[in-house]
Structure 1
């Protein structure tokens, strides 16, 4: 199932590239350069080699400055890291995708990404000066662009060497099917929200059946949303002498899902990566599945009228 790398286990994409099964999520982490530098230094020190960011997070520049300093200090080498970024929804025209990824690479101070993703299937109006443009009714200002057109732009970027692998994020099965049907280069990944309250088992199986790896964001939900206090999870955690977040992450990787938990604390960084010395039983896995209630923490309802809004169908 897993091929052990020098630090964390890794899984293989259909194109032969490997990705560490645990990465560091950076959404809404910090806009402070010194904090980001410390977090990335700590993460690499304890064994992380996979860093996930995005243009919309507006932290690519501080991540880039941190990485440049680490490369200069020989703290790590570019070839030893796996770095992901994402094309934002205002860059969905085929001709704009390459531009978007060049912006991200410039922000990060890198020559290439290991993985580039379409962040959301929805296309938003460009040229407004806003990354999340809204009308007078607080609904998104949309562009009539299909995911297939945007994917062709991703293929262009791949051919130019801007990314070693390309994939998608927040796509449903119907959108993935269209991309698979009309693509020359297949997506290697679908990154989407999944945790015990949102097991997404049908979408996970659809992806795996089509040789698409799954990356889970929000893998431990939100701290204020109840998962950390679920009796089933606290009982399993106590039995295994682990924390509840460690149990949730273990539940995901035992489903062959890559995880990108976010934390800025060194102790949590260590805990989140220290999940390879225990295994959940079949009974424990089943008990955790019972917590599913199809509850999303991330749902851009302002885009519900967009032609590519992904959550109109079950998966």
Structure 2
């Protein structure tokens, strides 16, 4: 596994497994299986309603806690400093962990700065190893960092070949925040797995279109958290570190950028 360094020196895996929409035994088994296959970053959220199952999957894997990087997120129901403080303890209990590696605000909220103060406090207490945000565009991000004392380590956003977010990445990195991509395979929308450009480039490296799409992001320094419950796909998604795209490959894939979201709910922020 390859790692990236956050702005506080913490190392985070460049590839992890997303757990959105995984439930019950499937979630437990998928998390355990992913860890056995070599995944070290597990991403969940209170909004997903599966923190307990993620925690059980981690326990089932019998891995040393120090090897894992666990991310979760708090959301709009914790829209105050006090509620956010309680939410942090709830996540620790649900996950059965002594600390969380990365805790994010799930979306931009008017109350975000006061919620974030609870994250900053928990970070200083050692309950959280790194803190950040999710789904913040350029305007939200630039306003937000004026009100926080700890610059977010991560901004987790929708990013994939059809929504590449070069400008946002540049702004984030100017301030010391790294981008992480949710839905890096666009949830298969637009037949991405049969995209002719990705198929053509993939043949050069004996890689699948999905692997080319993930490598495109990782090579830019963007961590990715693709979701799958299929063992073959889990193995494929993590096997992207034995080749490197050329400048020509990158420029070709850049032409696929439509610069718009695939998910209408994000437009409400």
TM-score norm. by structure 1 comes to 0.82
Q: How far has the Cα of 1:82 moved from its partner? A: 0.3
* Equivalence for 1:36: 27
Q: How far has the Cα of 1:45 moved from its partner? A: 1.8
Map 1:275-290 → 2, pairs under 5 A: 275-290=240-255
**Aligned partner (choices 10, 19, 26) of residue 26 of structure 1:** 19
**Aligned partner (choices 73, 76, 80) of residue 86 of structure 1:** 73
1:10–1:20 contact (8 Å) kept in structure 2: yes
Q: In structure 2, what is the Cα distance between the partners aligned to 1:299 and 1:111?
A: 36
Alpha-carbon displacement from aligned partner over 1:22-60 (angstroms, at most 9, x marks no partner): 00100012x232x23332232112211100000010111
Aligned: 1:9 with 2:2? yes
Count of equivalent residues: 269
Show structure 1 runs of 5+ residues with no match. Answer: 1-7, 123-144, 310-315
Aligned: 1:158 with 2:123? yes
Q: In structure 2, what is the Cα distance between the partners aligned to 1:300 and 1:101?
A: 25
2:85–2:119 contact (8 Å) kept in structure 1: yes
Change in Cα spacing, 1:299 to 1:94, as seen in structure 2 (3 Å) is farther
Aligned: 1:113 with 2:100? yes
Aligned: 1:254 with 2:246? no
Aligned: 1:185 with 2:150? yes
Q: In structure 1, what is the Cα distance between the partners aligned to 2:27 and 2:47?
A: 17
CA RMSD, Structure 1 to Structure 2 (Å) = 1.5
Aligned: 1:210 with 2:195? no
Q: In structure 1, what is the Cα distance between the partners aligned to 2:188 and 2:10?
A: 33
1:24–1:260 contact (8 Å) kept in structure 2: yes
* Equivalence for 1:132: none
Q: In structure 2, what is the Cα distance between the partners aligned to 1:299 and 1:190?
A: 19
Q: In structure 1, what is the Cα distance between the partners aligned to 2:115 and 2:96?
A: 24
2:19–2:27 contact (8 Å) kept in structure 1: no
Q: In structure 2, what is the Cα distance between the partners aligned to 1:68 and 1:226?
A: 36
Alpha-carbon displacement from aligned partner over 1:81-107 (angstroms, at most 9, x marks no partner): 000000111112122111111111111
Show structure 2 runs of 5+ residues with no match. Answer: none
Which has the larger Rg?
Answer: 1
**Higher percent of residues as helix:** 2
* Equivalence for 1:68: 59
2:24–2:50 contact (8 Å) kept in structure 1: no
Q: Which runs of 4+ in 1 moved over 3 A?
A: none
* Equivalence for 1:312: none
**Aligned partner (choices 33, 37, 47) of residue 56 of structure 1:** 47
Alpha-carbon displacement from aligned partner over 1:244-268 (angstroms, at most 9, x marks no partner): 0000000001111000011111111
1:148–1:178 contact (8 Å) kept in structure 2: no
1:158–1:166 contact (8 Å) kept in structure 2: yes
Q: In structure 1, what is the Cα distance between the partners aligned to 2:123 and 2:32?
A: 29
Q: In structure 2, what is the Cα distance between the partners aligned to 1:260 and 1:165?
A: 17
Q: In structure 2, what is the Cα distance between the partners aligned to 1:177 and 1:295?
A: 20
Q: In structure 1, what is the Cα distance between the partners aligned to 2:128 and 2:175?
A: 21
Aligned: 1:171 with 2:163? no
2:151–2:175 contact (8 Å) kept in structure 1: no
